[in-house]
Amino acid sequence: MNPFDVIDETCVTQFDDCADVIVVGLGIAGACAAIEAKRAGGDVIAVERASAGGGASALSSGLFYLGGGTAVQQACGYSDDAQNMYQFMIASMGSDNAQAVRQYCDQNVEHFNWLEQQGVPFERSCYKDKAVFLMGTEGLLSTGNEKVWPYRELARPVPRGHQVTGEGESTGNAAMQPLLQVCSELGVRGYYDTRVQALITDQSGTVVGVKTQQGGDTRFLKANKGVVLATGGFAMNPDMVQLHLQGLSATAEALGSAYSDGSGIQLGVAAGADTDAMQNYIATASIYPPGQLIKGIIVNESGQRFVAEDSYHGRTAEFIAKQSNQRAFLIVDSEIFAYPEIETARHQLIDGYETIEEMEQALAMPKDALVATLNQYNTAARDGVDPDFMKHPEWLKPLDQGPYAAFYISFSQSIYLYMTLGGLKTNANAQVLNSKGIAIPGLYAAGACSAHIPKSGASYASGMSLGPGSFFGRVAGRHIMSSNEDTP
Ligand SMILES: Cc1cc2nc3c(=O)[nH]c(=O)nc-3n(C[C@H](O)[C@H](O)[C@H](O)COP(=O)(O)OP(=O)(O)OC[C@H]3O[C@@H](n4cnc5c(N)ncnc54)[C@H](O)[C@@H]3O)c2cc1C
């Protein structure tokens, strides 16, 4: 049940404050929306539930999925262009949002430049090995399925994970601090420790304001041009997770800030918004780094392979989630043996075995199943091919140097972290759509409270939250100031 209601403007006796634009939530999407609306001449209020802006964006690893020939790509010797990026995104993420994807790709270099102009730093250097995020300061790494078959044949593979230069794991903060600073310098007015509790609509259904709660104080804020919802995802709302993410393992752990509780989605739905991809999530417990583990094979409890092991970790997780009991094992030989380095994943070494027959028995697999899988894989790998899953030749080697080892990488034994991908349905102007596909006047959404472009873990690439979140936040801020007309 939706705990939020919509308030009819006629029930509001007096507004306590007024602005052209009200931005709800000051993470990456909200900050970018506020900056652009302010620069377009608007008076902007940002309402933020926490004591300061930042949200999950500040906790993040600071990876932005950007391309089309950014200065970092160029400095690192990669040739990318908008069309190449578009072809990859459409092939791997689907064509549902083709117009938004087109716009994202066409304007990506400009967007990268804009982020840098606001003070978001990206080093001109590249990390060439496989990693989930970087503890170093390199500005570029591969974070998606670009080199995974069939995508490598449909678009020229190039790295597009742009990592903000910062210290430690939460480099997202190095992006948020300058953006929040710009908001403050431009005069965006902030209401902090303040939660938006309802949208206010006029008789035509146009969103004209918000009701807020700060401690015991209730306020009504008028928005002359409209409201941008930028409140983040819903991984921290157990009721929504239970309702929507029915395929998610009970042992998976949510990623987000304490306030990633879906309130923006519920606020929008109360005002007539449609949602998209609410059942989808991206889970992660990467087997890499180190990259050499990709040369192993991943099998299910029947001893069969089911995914190309060089897939992006979110894609691998999605395939594991579809296996019987969501169980899987990583099998390596002594030549490539190493422990998986992502500590949060807690992939456990099961044991070492002199022979594959011994391993197969210990893992309670059907007799000869794993032996047959390994024989078939090794025969092809000696020829540098993987006809079953088309793993890239750079990750192929016969696994024939015993002893052998197996790791648990099941949902029940490892720790999978997840983020939600579903949210409010929006168009390429970041306008929120109703169930007829028509924009709700005065209502915009960006970031993780709107449905992501990649609608599954299999199609996700790291940086596809901060990249589009910042981009469509800007789109919302500009569009809201330029027009209030309905566009489908
Ligand atoms: C550990 C971690 C690592 C990650 N790494 C990456 C990465 O490298 N790259 C990437 O693309 N994605 C990453 N993500 C995901 C990404 O951080 C989020 O999807 C993204 O930051 C969402 O941005 P946002 O602006 O939509 O929401 P947020 O940044 O969460 O901002 C939403 C804001 O709204 C406020 N708010 C919520 N409800 C209300 C309300 N009712 N009223 C007022 N304010 C409200 C919140 O307090 C918050 O400040 C990571 C996430 C985590 C947790």
Does 259 sit in the ligand 1 pocket, CB within 6 Å?
yes
Question: What spacing in Å lies between the alpha carbon of 255 and ligand 1's midpoint?
Answer: 9
The 10 Å Cβ neighbour count of residue 92 is 22
Q: Find out whether 417 and 344 touch, Cβ atoms under 8 Å.
A: yes
The 10 Å Cβ neighbour count of residue 245 is 22
In order of their start, the domains of the chain are: 1-282+420-488 (3.50.50.60), 286-408 (3.90.700.10)
Does 207 sit in the ligand 1 pocket, CB within 6 Å?
no
Is 141 in a helix, a strand, or coil? strand
Whether pLDDT at 471 is above 50: yes
Q: Helix, strand, coil proportions of the chain in percent (round to 5)?
A: 30, 20, 50
What pLDDT is attached to residue 135? Answer: 84
pLDDT range class, residue 170, cuts 50, 70, 90 = confident
Question: What spacing in Å lies between the alpha carbon of 54 and ligand 1's midpoint?
Answer: 8
Does 463 sit in the ligand 1 pocket, CB within 6 Å?
yes
Question: What spacing in Å lies between the alpha carbon of 366 and ligand 1's midpoint?
Answer: 44
Atom 38 in ligand 1: which residue has the minimum CA distance? Answer: 231
Pocket test for ligand 1, best of 57, 115, 417 (most atoms within 8 A of CB): 57
Structure confidence by residue, pLDDT tens digits, 346-365? 999 999 999 999 999 999 99
The Cα–Cα gap between 441 and 190 comes to: 24
Question: What spacing in Å lies between the alpha carbon of 257 and ligand 1's midpoint?
Answer: 7
Quote the Cα angle for 150-156-158, to 5°. 105
The 10 Å Cβ neighbour count of residue 418 is 25
pLDDT range class, residue 35, cuts 50, 70, 90 = very high
Provide CB contacts within 8 A for 87, sequence distance 6+: 154, 155
The Cα–Cα gap between 268 and 270 comes to: 5
Whether pLDDT at 167 is above 80: no
pLDDT range class, residue 112, cuts 50, 70, 90 = very high
Question: What spacing in Å lies between the alpha carbon of 206 and ligand 1's midpoint?
Answer: 27
State the average pLDDT for the chain. 96
Question: What spacing in Å lies between the alpha carbon of 214 and ligand 1's midpoint?
Answer: 21
Structure tokens at 27: 């993470």
pLDDT range class, residue 488, cuts 50, 70, 90 = very low
Does 221 sit in the ligand 1 pocket, CB within 6 Å?
no
Structure confidence by residue, pLDDT tens digits, 291-344? 999 999 999 999 999 999 999 999 999 999 999 999 999 999 999 999 999 999
The Cα–Cα gap between 92 and 108 comes to: 18
Question: What spacing in Å lies between the alpha carbon of 465 and ligand 1's midpoint?
Answer: 8
Q: Find out whether 329 and 408 touch, Cβ atoms under 8 Å.
A: yes
What pLDDT is attached to residue 98? Answer: 96
Structure confidence by residue, pLDDT tens digits, 237-278? 999 999 999 889 999 999 999 999 999 999 999 999 999 999
What pLDDT is attached to residue 247? Answer: 87
Rounded to an integer, what is the distance from CA 410 to the centroid of its chain?
A: 22
Does 33 sit in the ligand 1 pocket, CB within 6 Å?
no
What pLDDT is attached to residue 485? Answer: 43
Taking every pair of C-alpha atoms in the chain, what is the biggest distance, in angstroms? 79
User: Which run of H or of E encompasses 245?
Assistant: none
Whether pLDDT at 484 is above 80: no
Structure tokens at 348: 């456990």
pLDDT range class, residue 487, cuts 50, 70, 90 = very low
What pLDDT is attached to residue 1? Answer: 80
What pLDDT is attached to residue 383? Answer: 97
Does 423 sit in the ligand 1 pocket, CB within 6 Å?
no
Q: Find out whether 300 and 438 touch, Cβ atoms under 8 Å.
A: no
Q: Up-side HSE of residue 291: CA atoms within 13 Å toward CB?
A: 12
Structure confidence by residue, pLDDT tens digits, 185-238? 999 999 999 999 999 999 999 999 999 999 999 999 999 999 999 999 999 999
Does 108 sit in the ligand 1 pocket, CB within 6 Å?
no
Whether pLDDT at 483 is above 80: no
Whether pLDDT at 486 is above 50: no
Percent of the chain with pLDDT over 90: 95
Identify the burial level of 177 via C-beta atoms within 10 angstroms of its C-beta, where 0-12 means exposed, 13-18 middle and 19 or more buried.
middle
User: What does residue 297 show for φ and ψ, rounded to 5 degrees?
Assistant: -120, 150
Q: Up-side HSE of residue 41: CA atoms within 13 Å toward CB?
A: 4
